[in-house]
Structure 1
């Protein structure tokens, strides 16, 4: 029902209107954090990436409405402060990647769509590699450089166990909510998933692995094909539109891909899934309606 609702929203609202919806949503999170504390609304592992996205949306709003440029830039600074306050290593890394993305999109906007799509793929690969570098060197980077407590040590070490679990149900997976079932005790399919440090995860801490657990390798492959098509449509939208919000789809997809490397959301009703549905619906309609002329140039 939630997915159907946001398909409808994606059909009825333009990209500019969707940007406004996202802008007010994340400003609500920002203002709520200011008045009630930085972790009163979201856990720090989600607050950091949320504040990073809020900062980007506020900056884009300052470009869209020059009359209030300094007001929105001031709010951007507040959002950046809460990226720091969230004390999330992923939030800080993701914020840096999103800042780099804005500059990179100005460059690829002038390229032919297919070349721009290839460049976007390279940017995502570099971004994911950066996150992997941080993950693999977590004790040095997170503790010493980012001043973050290592509360999930061994996260990557239980991922092979999850891959093995997917291999036991490779075609259709375990179904929605069919794997992580701690209330079943000894019959819990996820019972063997424990990190070497003894941490018992409530989910994969990786949205793509959770997608595989839910719908199998086949479903994950179909999702990745759909995601790549949506990114291509996002590149088309960027290269054919002169509006400041033209960067939003690619910002959202980058945020989604990077944040789901160490957290989950793609296989549940969450911001990641809702954003994916919204952007895919809107971009598909814009492309199939041939609003930009030579769409496959």
Structure 2
């Protein structure tokens, strides 16, 4: 069953009864359907954009009742004030750097189907970028097309580090695909640097969302790795999301499927939402 959780927070000034802010965070906590655009669906509108998820009629009624209750609370709190009510997601006004690994002359790993990692990385990143921007975040990306950032690997990685460290960002998420000599290895896994407590927290939250929203049988845990250049040299909390094993023919086919890429992006987005929800409540 698709479940939802609505978190609402507001406060009012005693002086003028003005509603200071309302924060509504609609999170789908279990597996989404393969498509977000198939009728029937609920639209969550933010800044002219929308996110879509299929829900049952029963769940729709529940969500409708909750939204109606929230609307009443907001109206009551805003009585006597002509100020606008600000509706914000936890990523609103955050600066997030997205890195699609490899590109151009560097294909990354190539699967048995002949598909290159670099293209999957870019596709997932683009979908994640859309969700974040719809949520109000400012997103900087290391590449928007099939291009490398340098003529050699060292120069390419140095440029990615530069973008991350000069952007004054809150977090960095780098998208990659895994590979292993054994074709049986599978499952998404998130990596962080051992010296970054925030990076560890972000990685664990994204890992949990990848499990609950993409593959509930995935037993992998977020793992520290101090060898990755982008994790060692980035000055902000950073994670590498290995979305799956391109060396596994069955998983490689999924990773090249647009609906599955959308699921991955949505799960990563929810993990980021969870992260900023926690940091703001501390």
Whether TM-score is above 0.5 comes out as no
Structure (1/2) with the larger helix percentage: 1
TM-score (norm: length of structure 1)? 0.28
